[in-house]
Structure 1
Amino acid sequence: MAEEEKQWIIREDPPRAGAEMGGLPPILLKLLGQRGVEGGEAVEKFLKPRLRDLSDPYLLPDMEKAVERVLAAIDAGENILVYGDYDVDGVTSVALMCNVLRAYGVAHDYFIPKRGEEGYGLSDTAIDNLLEDKGKPDLIITVDCGTASIDEIERINSLGIDLIVVDHHEMSVRGKPECIAVVNPKLGDDFHYLCAAGVVFKLAHALLKRRMVEGFDLKEYIDMVAVATVADIVPLVEENRLLVRHGLRLLPETKHAGLLALQQVTGMNGNVSSMDVGFRIGPRLNAAGRMDKPEDALALMLEADLKEARKLAEALDLYNRERQLHEKQIRDEALAMVAERPNAQDEPVIVLGSRSWHPGVVGIVASRLMRQFYKPTFIVSVDEEGIGKGSGRSVEGISLVEAIQACPDDLIAGGGHDMAAGLSILESKIDEFRENFSKYVLENTTKAQRAPKLHIDAEIGFDELSLEFMDSYDLLQPFGSQNPQPVFMSRNVWLTEAPRHLKNKHIKLFLRQGFVEHDAIFFGGGERSLPDPPWDVAFTIDRNTFRGRTTLQMVIQDVRSAEQQSE
């Protein structure tokens, strides 16, 4: 099944935003307007967010109840257990909550379930293991899970254990769980963009507003929140943007040995972007959970000694390499399965399963196949009992949650978000689910809607690309969900020499537009059949520092023949 050609869509020019602000290039004003940032004050707040603009944490639902119960536990000398999740957001949430409790001098412990054995969130197996390993706590605080765990929380209540949920996931159709407090922005009208670590940060802020702790500075944990926010791919808007902007600035000189060790192990050079978090720090923290070693990621985030942290970071780096091997194996086998399906080209979805696939890696492979073929994709790992656990990734305009709800007879369970979801399914039902999933997509979308698209933010000339332009451009950062890195295009571009093939099927291009030349990197471009120049090129831009010299680097997203007209 060949990769389908993308349709280039050039965004319309918005009303010029912030035009009264001097010193900003017109193209930057256009990018701000596309993001709905209008007027001088809004532009100033977007480009230069300030920590003093953080809102009152007591605006979140049930915050008052949560603070009262935690402070009561502190005063009574009770035992508190923090229960989290095995991904980056879950691990950092547990670490932050534990650091806050330690600052208050309260006895506390933590528990993170193993993905393969205990699954996500509160489960009966995890609760049994928790009670056996940790004993019975007086209070459990769940972070990054618990909102939809109605039955499990009822069981915890029956054991005489109080529970507070600190989460950001969607509510169960059965409603709000019965517990002391559910601090979840989804129960209110605002802050829906926060990740779990962001909600924990708000809880910590609320506790400190009620009772300060001498020597504890919550601002020192903003870098931890920033890592979780970027890694969890939540919208980088409003307070998320503020927290990430300031957190990224803290990271190079972080006071947390674990985050410093991760930067050392990954060879980061002192300037941290959201891309560094997304592609270097986040994958290594996630790899521990994927390899069923989440306790190592948490140990790293809690470690105070840099030497010990370095050992743990190197272990996580090895887990990441192991994860990459599993990923390659699954991807190669999945591509072979796609190639063997006679009607794969015409099917609007990809649904594949195997007993040889590691359950911790299927989500990554689903994401890669979705991007390669621009089709909603589920990749399923099947255990020895014939029970499959799958992870799905979708494309613009197709909700996986709605698709799962449309196929209830095919699945044991399923849920998540529109663009990323999980499911449980009998091995014998995989083919039937593929058929019904395809039917749902065909009935609810048009062929044009299913065609791959590349959204171009602005056209720019090679003569405008410079380090001086990057200084203004960098004010748009951090990039991520709902503030994506801008995609530019340039027309009538020629090669000055033949493409240079690099490892992993990447290529380096030497490009010229008029009399101006720029080098570019095209990740995966070695697998593409490129048209004859001249080209229109779509690209993002970054700073590239090599041997002490910093240059502007173009990162190619797509290439097409120059004579092809834009929409």
Structure 2
Amino acid sequence: MIAQPEPKSKRWILKPFPDAPAQRSAIEELTRSLGVNPFLASLLVQRGVHTFDEARTFFRPEITHLHDPFLMKDMDKAVERLQFAMIRQEKILVYGDYDVDGTTSVALFYGFLKQIYPNIDYYIPDRYKEGYGISKQGIQWASENGFTLIVSLDCGIKSIDRVTEASQLGIDFIICDHHRPGAELPPAVAVLDPKRNDCSYPFKELTGCGVGFKLLHAFCVFREFPLDDLYAYLDLVVVSIASDIVPINGENRVLAYYGLKQLNSSPRPGLKALIRIAAISRELDINSVVFGLGPRINAAGRIEHAKAAVQLLLAQNDIEADNFALKINEHNKSRQGFDKDITDQALAMILGDEMLLSAKSTVLFNQGWHKGVIGIVASRCIERFHRPTIILTKSNEEKAAGSARSVPGFDVYEAIEECADLLEQFGGHTFAAGLTLTIDNIPAFQKKFEEVVAGRIREEQLTPMIEIDLPLDFAAIDRKFYNIVRQMSPFGPHNLQPVFMTEDVYLAGPPMLMKEKHIRINVRQGRSGHVMTAVGFNLSGWHEPLVQCLRHGQPFSICYQVEENNYNGNSTLQLHLKDIKCSQ
């Protein structure tokens, strides 16, 4: 038998129980009006649901719950300019970023307008030749080809110089972005971004694709087009929401709810082909989009050019879609190969260096690593060592480009900003950032970044955290309980799938290893009571400690999610283990 690694300690953070008088009253009211147990009512109150009407809205989102698009600053200007361009038969260019949000945005906006207006094209910048955002090459191409209006999606909010250059060439801009603006806005005809300080739009967390959708929403209202024609594109919007890891509450919850319905009932040919090639046989949820569809769409821009992703998403029939999907899947296989090889090399570098092993941060450089996957590799390193990580590779002759990722609670952007004197440029946000520096400066940057992180990071931030919603009794877990929890989906940031904790648990039989990596146990709460089956993926390190618990009759604690297990036509409820704590 392969020796199993020792289980790693994780922090269990129990969310505050809704115990204020108003919250207790709401729990009692929801228990009565919904006919649910107090555990479920408490879960709802934790998530801001206090009344029967709020519960109805939460469980049954309506498309009519979407906000009036004209509440967004500059929306009237954007619609007027778009309409004016069509009246004058101007050439319109749809310009989008090369990631999932950008490519779905372009497919949505171009695909919808192309049905009613032929004088339109799209442009995706090359990740390696042009970089992120509005590029000089893109503006030049638009000018040379006679475009007089550019609609940018998922980029442009900080492209002041590029938009100014375009204006001087007679090209107007409508910017649809969701990133935080700088102190100055670009001189565009309209800047649609709910994060503008002067924008009173009620929901601030739309994706770039979501902002593009709202512009089309407003345009349809203005032109009195049937909105059902636009809602048919919600399968693209939910792919952007899932892949961009934005909060799935408010308007995003409505868009994701109906987007998943579209994705599961009648997805466009390109997405249907991706679902087939990813071998997703069960109903799609946010997770299956994040891990099954998103990486494949992203791989086009990481390995070759993201235009292939847009071509796939715009495919008109299954044959065309299958051809593009096969090509993109090959890109994804290449990406996976680069990802695995570079991750193995990066982990070996850390494990082979005592200073790196004991450090509070990780900064690694290899000039041969593929630039398209270094962000993914940084995330993989954090999975293993749980600390702020930057992976660098050679960008051009004397420069290195890097991707940074962080751990919950630590602002990696601020830490990088402290090292600005050693950098050529940098940008990003709290948990992810990009940077460029000269290769000669890498040793000094490694040293300074480590000093900054070591001086700021708290010890507990270096330990993985599991947030637990509620303690739960096994007696509360039945089919009705599971069905109601499932209806709380779509799950994602700000509406995560509930995690429960049960203490004083005993084994009802020997723990079983599965494929040397996973465990399966039968457990009961207390020394008597109902037995539940629990499965822990990649938790094989707990096998021996659990054997000892069984041998000595010791209780332990588990945290888990409740899920359905379908096997050979039989459906049972089981616990999906997140972590275990043995009693001392």
**What TM-score comes out, normalization by structure 1 length?**
0.92
Cα offsets for 1:450-474 (capped at 9, x unmatched): 4432221122234433433221001
d(CA) in 2 for partners of 1:526, 1:268:
26
Contact 1:80/1:109 (8 A) holds in 2: yes
Q: Distance in 2 between matches of 1:177 and 1:48?
A: 39
Change (3 A) 1:551 1:432: farther
Task: Name which of structure 1's ranges 90-99 and 409-418 shifts more when overlaid on structure 2.
Answer: 409-418
Cα distance, 1:495–1:142 mapped onto 2, change above 3 Å: farther
Stretch moving more, 492-501 or 338-347: 492-501
Does residue 42 of structure 2 align to residue 30 of structure 1?
yes
* Distance in 1, Cα, partners of 2:325 & 2:28: 46
Secondary structure of 1:118's aligned partner: coil
Per the alignment, residue 181 of structure 1 pairs with: 190
CA change 1:540–1:289 in 2 (3 A) is farther
Change (3 A) 1:151 1:530: farther
Alpha-carbon shift at residue 25 of structure 1 (Å): 2.8
| Cα distance, 1:160 vs structure 2 | 1.3
Shift of 1:130: 5.6
1:305 is aligned, of 317, 320, 327, to 317
Q: Does 1:8 find its partner at 2:21?
A: no
Q: Determine whether 1:535 maps to 2:547.
A: no
Q: CA separation in 2, counterparts of 1:363 and 1:525?
A: 26
Query: Residues 550 and 431 of structure 1: is their aligned pair in 2 closer, same or farther, counting only changes over 3 Å?
Result: farther
Seq. identity, %: 37
Q: In structure 1, what is the Cα distance between the partners aligned to 2:414 and 2:351?
A: 28
Q: Secondary structure at the match of 1:510?
A: strand
Is the aligned partner of 1:114 residue 2:126?
A: yes
The question of whether the paired residues in 1 share the 8 Å contact of 2:511 and 2:519 is answered with no
Output the CA distance in 2 between the equivalents of 1:479 and 1:215.
Answer: 26
CA separation of 1:138 and 1:377: change in aligned 2, threshold 3 A: same
Deviations 1:281-338 (A, max 9, x none): 1111111121123111111110110121122223222222221111111111111111
Q: Tell me which residue corresponds to 1:228.
A: 240
**Residues 18 and 40 of structure 1 are in contact (CA less than 8 Å); yes or no, is this contact kept in structure 2?**
no
In structure 2, C-alpha distance between the alignment counterparts of 1:527 and 1:327, rounded to whole Å: 25
- Rounded to whole Å, the distance in 2 between the matches of 1:127 and 1:559 is 55
Rate the CA distance shift 1:3–1:409 in 2: closer, same or farther, 3 A.
farther
Q: Which residue of 2 aligns with 1:138?
A: 148
The answer to whether the 8 A contact 2:268-2:313 is kept is yes
1:501 and 2:514 matched: yes
> Aligned partners of 2:336, 2:534: CA distance in 1, in Å?
26
Pick which of 269-278 and 142-151 moved more.
269-278
Is the alpha carbon distance of 1:549 and 1:422 closer, same or farther for their aligned partners in structure 2, counting shifts above 3 Å? farther
For residues 87 and 367 of structure 2, the distance between their equivalents in structure 1, rounded to whole angstroms, comes to 51
C-alpha deviation, 1:214, in angstroms: 6.1
Secondary structure in 2 aligned to 1:168? coil
Which residue, 73, 95, 100 being the options, matches 1:88?
Answer: 100
C-alpha contact (below 8 Å) 1:249/1:272 kept by paired residues:
no
SS of residue paired to 1:37: coil
Q: What's 1:555 paired with?
A: 576
Q: Which of 286, 298, 301 is the equivalent residue of 1:286?
A: 298
Match of 2:207 in 1: 195
Counterpart of 2:556, as a letter, is: W
Query: How many Å apart are 1:542 and its aligned residue?
Result: 3.0
Q: How many residues align?
A: 558
Aligned residue for 2:356, secondary structure, equals coil
User: Superposition pairs for residues 455-466 of structure 1, below 5 Å?
Assistant: 455-466=467-478
- Partner of 2:537 in structure 1? 523
Which moves more between the two structures, 379-388 or 304-313? Answer: 379-388
SS in 2 for 1:194: coil
Task: Map residues 40-439 of structure 1 onto 2, 5 A cutoff.
Answer: 40-128=52-140, 135-173=145-183, 175-187=184-196, 188-189=199-200, 190-213=202-225, 217-439=229-451
RMSD: 2.3
8 Å CA contact retained: 1:508, 1:519: no
Give the aligned partner of residue 510 of structure 1. 521
Larger radius of gyration: 2
Q: After alignment, is 176-185 or 461-470 more displaced?
A: 461-470
Structure 2: distance between partners of 1:530 and 1:65: 66
Name the amino acid aligned to 1:494.
Answer: L
Instruction: Kindly indicate whether the alpha-carbon contact (under 8 Å) linking 1:92 and 1:197 is maintained by their aligned counterparts in 2.
Output: yes
Look up the SS of the partner of 1:361 in the other structure: helix
Q: Which moved more, 1:231-240 or 1:33-42?
A: 33-42
Q: Decide whether aligned partners of structure 1 residues 463 and 381 sit closer, same or farther in structure 2, where only a CA change above 3 A counts.
A: farther
**TM-score (normalizing by structure 2):** 0.90
Listed one character per residue, the Cα deviations across residues 206-250 of structure 1 (whole Å, up to 9, x for unaligned) are 001100336961111122111111110011110001110111122
Per-residue CA deviations over 1:69-108 (Å, capped at 9, x if unaligned) read: 0000111111101010111111110011112211322410
Farther-moved stretch of structure 1 (391-400 vs 4-13): 4-13
Q: Are 2:534 and 2:576, in contact at CA under 8 Å, matched by a contact in 1?
A: yes
CA contact (8 A) 2:7 2:541 kept: no
Report if the CA contact (8 A) 1:300-1:313 is conserved.
yes
Amino acid at match of 1:300: L
Question: Do the aligned partners of 1:66 and 1:181 also contact (CA within 8 Å) in 2?
Answer: yes
Q: Is the 8 A contact 1:253 1:260 kept in 2?
A: no
Q: Contact 2:339–2:377 (CA<8 Å) still a contact in 1?
A: yes
* 1:355/1:381 contact within 8 Å kept: yes
* Partners of 1:104 and 1:356 in 2: CA distance: 47
1:544: how far off? 3.8
- C-alpha deviation, 1:506, in angstroms: 3.4
Mean Cα displacement is larger for which, 206-215 or 527-536?
527-536
* 1:493 to 1:61, Cα distance in 2 relative to 1, 3 A: farther
Decide which moves more: 377-386 or 194-203. 377-386
Alpha-carbon offset, residue 554 of structure 1: 2.9
Task: Measure how far apart 1:123 and its partner are.
Answer: 2.0
Gaps of 5+ in 2: 550-554
Take 2:568 and 2:326, find their aligned partners in 1: how far apart are those partners?
25
Q: What is the DSSP-based 3-state SS (H/G/I as helix, E as strand, rest coil) of the residue aligned with 1:271?
A: coil
1:546 is displaced (CA, Å) by 4.2
1:131 shift after superposition = 5.4
Aligned residue in 1 for 2:552: none
Q: Relative to 1, partners in 2 of residues 1:67 and 1:555: Cα closer, same or farther, differing over 3 Å?
A: same
Counterpart AA for 1:509 = R
Q: 1:130-158: per-residue Cα shift (whole Å, max 9, x none)?
A: 656xx231111110001111111122112
